[in-house]
């Protein structure tokens, strides 16, 4: 039985000056091994550059290298990481962080056994449809997308509809485009991943919720 082995290496790059107190990982996110890569036996490394803000959240993610089949998985995992912010002169500062995600398939029996024995996220926190929860998740702020350069050049707007999963912590776990002009897909996904919600509640318990999010790209956004 194949299993996923992810090696997480973190490097810190601060420019133009070196900060005396570097950011440290508070929440490490293990990316999902893409099903296509698993089925085709594809392995590889993805190097991403993240901008860590003064609040410790990841504000921007850029793929620097690696097989394209892993890009979306690595980008989503990196965007959900949380750090203790870097500090300089007793103040929190923004820095760039390089992280390498190594995707490996292995057949080690011990790892397979441990993986099978571990409870899944779905078992620990059930996933509900939007209509099923007692208290609906509520967006703390609207999505703020970047207007794609390709659309800016031809001067047209649009809107994108996405199916999203909101975690029990209020963060967006996944965002899948349902409809909308292809030119806006990446920008819509990036905007939705940065959204924060008050979590949905079932009884007295915060739960994961599936819902739909619309992201608009008016011409005025240019």
Over the chain, what is the mean pLDDT?
A: 79
- Whether 213 and 162 have beta carbons less than 8 Å apart is answered as yes
Q: What local confidence, expressed as pLDDT, does residue 192 receive?
A: 93
Q: What local confidence, expressed as pLDDT, does residue 99 receive?
A: 84
Tell me the helices (H) and strands (E) count for the chain, helix number first.
6, 15
Write the CB contacts of 219 (distance below 8 Å, at least 6 apart in sequence): 155, 156, 157
Q: What local confidence, expressed as pLDDT, does residue 154 receive?
A: 63
pLDDT band at 107; cut points 50, 70, 90: very low
- Does the model's pTM come out above 0.75? no
pLDDT band at 106; cut points 50, 70, 90: low
Q: Among candidates 103, 105, 115, 106, which has minimal Cα distance to 30?
A: 103
Which residue's structure tokens are 């350069």?
149
Residue pLDDT, tens place only, 132-153: 999 899 988 888 888 887 767 6
List of domains in the chain: 3-117 (3.30.2420.10), 127-221 (3.30.2420.10)
């Amino acid at each position: 039985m194949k299993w996923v082995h992810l090696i997480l290496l973190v490097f810190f790059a601060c420019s133009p000056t070196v900060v005396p107190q570097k950011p440290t990982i508070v929440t490490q996110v293990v990316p999902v091994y893409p099903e296509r890569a698993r089925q085709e036996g594809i392995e590889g490394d993805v190097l991403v550059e993240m901008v860590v803000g003064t609040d410790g959240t990841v504000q921007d993610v850029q793929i620097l290298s690696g097989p394209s089949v892993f890009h979306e998985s690595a980008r989503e995992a990196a965007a959900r990481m949380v750090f203790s912010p870097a500090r300089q002169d007793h103040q929190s500062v923004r820095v760039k962080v390089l992280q390498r995600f190594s995707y490996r398939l292995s057949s080690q029996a011990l790892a397979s056994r441990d993986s099978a024995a571990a409870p899944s996220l779905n078992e620990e926190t059930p996933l509900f449809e939007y209509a099923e929860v007692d208290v609906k998740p509520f967006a703390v702020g609207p999505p703020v997308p970047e207007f794609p350069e390709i659309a800016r050049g031809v001067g047209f707007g649009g809107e994108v509809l996405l199916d999203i999963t909101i975690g029990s912590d209020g963060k967006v776990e996944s965002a899948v485009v349902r409809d909308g002009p292809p030119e806006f897909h990446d920008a819509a996904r990036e905007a939705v991943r940065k959204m924060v919600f008050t979590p949905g509640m079932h009884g007295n318990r915060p739960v994961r919720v599936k819902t739909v999010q619309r992201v608009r790209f008016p011409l005025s956004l240019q």
